[in-house]
Structure 1
């Protein structure tokens, strides 16, 4: 599993989300919506403290992570987190793991 955060959405996160020391942006699977590979589930995000991390990366001082509880949602996929210019919010693009 690989998660790529584009520079454009990184700037959005830095402008829109306030993080206290030790906190990061957690991506998780949630009921409702869909992705290219999930029907009835979409990506949620929250400000959280990493505990049982299966993926983490700090980019320009911002921690992004996925908890082991969300292995079911992300296992076998690479995800690009990008910025949707029309909706002015993050968008998530899934592809099979390379």
Structure 2
């Protein structure tokens, strides 16, 4: 799995979450909601500076963005592209089948 964070999304995370070098954001699946690839589950995120057993991790502008091994089930088969959506003033998540990016 790859995690790609665009420049605009990185700026949003830094500004809205007060992130700086060495900090981290954990992405995980939660019950309720939906995504383009899951019904009954949605994507959640939380500041977390200590990646423990990451399934996927990428560093952008000094911040670690990661998915823990325990949440592999939610992302299996997909890469995650995180962009900024100006109409929502927040991140937009795109799931792309592995190998397509």
Q: Does structure 1 retain, via aligned residues, the 8 Å contact 2:13–2:19? A: no
Listed as ranges, the matches of 1:21-36 within 5 Å are 23-36=23-36
Listed as ranges, the matches of 1:1-98 within 5 Å are 1-19=1-19, 23-48=23-48, 49-98=50-99
SS at 1:72's partner residue?
A: helix
Show structure 1 runs of 5+ residues with no match: none
TM-score normalised per structure 1: 0.90
In structure 2, what is the Cα distance between the partners aligned to 1:39 and 1:20? 34
Show structure 2 runs of 5+ residues with no match: none
In structure 2, what is the Cα distance between the partners aligned to 1:3 and 1:85? 20
The RMSD of aligned alpha carbons is 1.5
4+ residue runs over 2 A deviation: 18-23
Count how many residue pairs are aligned between Structure 1 and Structure 2: 98
SS at 1:51's partner residue?
A: coil
